[in-house]
Amino acid sequence: MRATRFFISTTKEAPSEAELVSHKLMLRAGLIKRLGSGLYTWMPLGLRVLRRVEAVVREEMNRAGAIELLMPAVQPAELWEETGRWAVFGPQMLKIKDRHQRDFCFGPTHEEVITDVARREIKSYRQLPVNFYQIQMKFRDEIRPRFGVMRAREFLMKDAYSFHASKASLAETYQIMYDAYTRVFSRLGLTFRAVAADTGAIGGSASHEFHVLADSGEDLIAYCPDSDYAANVELAEAVAPATQRTAPQETLREVETPKQTTCEDVAALLDIPLTRTVKLIAGMVKGSAGEQMVALLLRGDHMLNEVKLGKLEGFSDFRLANEAEIRAVFNCSPGFLGPVGLDLAKIRVIADHTVAAMSDFVCGANKPKYHLAGVNFGRDLQEPDVVADIRNVASGDPSPDGQGTLQLCRGIEVGHVFQLGSTYSQAMNATYLDEAGKSQAMEMGCYGIGVSRIVASAIEQHHDEKGIIWPATMAPFWLVIVAIGYGKSEMVRQAADTLYAELIAAGHDVLLDDRDERPGVMFADAELIGIPHRVTVGERGLKDGVIEYQPRRAAPGQSGEAQKITLADATEFLT
């Protein structure tokens, strides 16, 4: 590809709302352009990366025996009513009406559609097992789209669904898919961990998530370095030793606060440093209304709000996290910032224990006995964010398998495999005739990969101050030829064109930077875009018969410095 016939649009600065390095670099390198909240155009350069990820996923799916199809993105409500999910899926589902006022959704996932395919097509055990997959845009109206394509509303997913005549067959395919996922993420050059996940409301029997390890990840995972134990924190919590949950409450500090206490007062009294992160301090407050459970939301030097979690009764199992460990990063509308006076008599902070299920308190605020006062949900509080770090497990806790202690780390969920069992097939009457001619509900598995999220995750793991450093399998181009003075120098043009033609003939994806730009601009772009190999062709070198080669990232044991190679040997050296 010649740069002059392609579309490269890089910028020096990233928009200020981009927080994550991957989001910044994707915008700066011109991989994506924002259309609206959680909606992105994949620009030509970004699309090349996305397609390469897709290609690896597709290859491994095919190798695992999955069969590709493509289902409609828009799905009729009736299907979702069969499984009851039309009512319970919640606001993540984008519901739409057609001209006849019939209800549809833009598919957030495809269990219902594929189960409909299966019940129409599969009649006999002889047709099982079968595993279908597609690579398709999903839409989920995320409560807070953020980090670019990392948590978008429209995003590309590979979703596979398998159907079986027995649980054993399901377990077998599950393992094949698990192994295929391991190959996908390894081939894509990602450092990742598979963790056991909660099977939750759907009630399947086994589930694993694949997480790309990154401090910027939204998920917490717990693992034991001395054994195979690894789980997402929700599951680790569920099996956390009971002793931890029933530990006696212990008062660490008790402070009297004057009337109209500000955030600074509270922080000073509790000796809590005020940082830019939002802190959520849960405590018991004795005031005129009796003893109340409250959470104080602090950000910077502002008190954001006081959240009344309710009267003490009914919260006997509610313990408080060490406030230093609670970081609830959430979005607060700017108009809401500012010191809010607090009328408290006493704040008692009980530390050293985490909240058993803060999410139940905060998210379940509309349940009886749960109260949130003065908080506008959706505006001030975002359910998943508030609970982000409030956990019942901590680094150093005993591992549930008894083999050592747990470590916590952050991850980005890029894949999820799930043994669903027969929940959907029963609800939708997806049956087959077994060997004895008896009608049975099919066993089912589902398997997702966040194809577009992988692109951002890879950048989180592979970048430096100059830009992206693509793993070879994902790079938009394998090599860039920076031709200095291409339009002015016949010598440069000839040398660059010849090398370009030879490398293309050898089957490589090469970008020839033939733009009329200063060398500094071309180098900076090549580094920002993250092309693994670079060759510089200029008049100065060509006079001695040489060109310059530089890898984007130094190979192990090598300096990564630019090195001169003779033009005559170039193709052989590079390939």
Give me the residues paired with residue 410 across strands. Answer: 220
Tokens of 143: 């409560």
Strands annotated E in 226-379: 230-232, 251-256, 278-287, 290-299, 302-311, 346-350
Least distance CB 226 / ligand ATP (angstroms): 27
Q: Does 267 bind ligand ATP (CB under 6 A)?
A: no
**Partner from ligand ATP, Mg ion, none contacting 142, C-beta within 5 to 8 A by type:** ligand ATP
Q: Which position's Cβ is nearest ligand ATP?
A: 450
Tokens of 502: 């030879």
User: 142 vs 502, which CB is nearer to ligand ATP?
Assistant: 142
Q: Which amino acid is residue 145, in one-letter code?
A: P
User: Quick one: which of 157, 196, 206, 278 contacts ligand ATP (CB under 6 A)?
Assistant: 157
What is the residue-wise DSSP string for 527-558?
Answer: HHHT-SEEEEE-HHHHTTTEEEEEESSPPTTS
What is the distance between the alpha carbons of residues 97 and 366, in angstroms, rounded to a whole number?
A: 29
From residue 399 to residue 438, the character string flagging contacts with Mg ion as x (rule: CB under 5 A) and all else as - is --------------x--x----------------------
Q: Does 155 bind ligand ATP (CB under 6 A)?
A: yes
What is the distance between the alpha carbons of residues 451 and 416, in angstroms, rounded to a whole number?
A: 12
Q: Does 211 bind Mg ion (CB under 5 A)?
A: no
**Partner from ligand ATP, Mg ion, none contacting 325, C-beta within 5 to 8 A by type:** none
Least distance CB 19 / ligand ATP (angstroms): 15
Closest CA to 254 of 324, 355, 350, 322: 350
What is the distance between the alpha carbons of residues 327 and 323, in angstroms, rounded to a whole number?
A: 8
Q: Which amino acid is residue 54, in one-letter code?
A: E
From residue 430 to residue 459, the character string flagging contacts with ligand ATP as x (rule: CB under 6 A) and all else as - is ------------------x-x-xx------
Q: Does 158 bind Mg ion (CB under 5 A)?
A: no
Q: Does 151 bind ligand ATP (CB under 6 A)?
A: yes
What is the distance between the alpha carbons of residues 302 and 292, in angstroms, rounded to a whole number?
A: 22
Residues of span 390-429 touching ligand ATP by CB under 6 A: 413-416
Polymer length in residues for the chain: 575
Q: Please state, as a whole number, how many other Cβ atoms lie within 10 Å of the Cβ of residue 16.
A: 7
User: 139 vs 470, which CB is nearer to ligand ATP?
Assistant: 139
- The answer to whether the CB of 3 falls within 8 A of the CB of 515 is yes
Chain CA centroid to CA 407, Å: 20
User: 200 vs 560, which CB is nearer to ligand ATP?
Assistant: 200
User: 397 vs 413, which CB is nearer to Mg ion?
Assistant: 413
Q: Is 464 helix (H, G, I), strand (E, B) or coil?
A: strand
Q: Does 135 bind ligand ATP (CB under 6 A)?
A: no
**Partner from Mg ion, ligand ATP, none contacting 152, C-beta within 5 to 8 A by type:** ligand ATP
Give the CA angle between residues 541, 547, 552 to the nearest 5°.
130
Helices 44-63 and 451-461 cross at an angle (nearest 10°) of 110
Q: Is the dihedral of CA 273, 278, 279, 282 positive or negative?
A: positive
**Partner from Mg ion, ligand ATP, none contacting 104, C-beta within 5 to 8 A by type:** none
From residue 528 to residue 567, the character string flagging contacts with Mg ion as x (rule: CB under 5 A) and all else as - is ----------------------------------------
**Partner from ligand ATP, Mg ion, none contacting 414, C-beta within 5 to 8 A by type:** ligand ATP
What is the distance between the alpha carbons of residues 192 and 462, in angstroms, rounded to a whole number?
A: 13
Q: Does 146 bind Mg ion (CB under 5 A)?
A: no
User: 149 vs 430, which CB is nearer to ligand ATP?
Assistant: 149
**# residues contacting ligand ATP (CB under 6 A):** 15
Binding span for ligand ATP by CB under 6 A among 116-124, 147-155, 244-252, 292-300: 147-155
- The answer to whether the CB of 476 falls within 8 A of the CB of 455 is no
Report the interface residues with Mg ion, using CB under 5 A. Answer: 413, 416
Report the interface residues with ligand ATP, using CB under 6 A. Answer: 109, 140, 142, 151-152, 155, 157, 413-416, 448, 450, 452-453
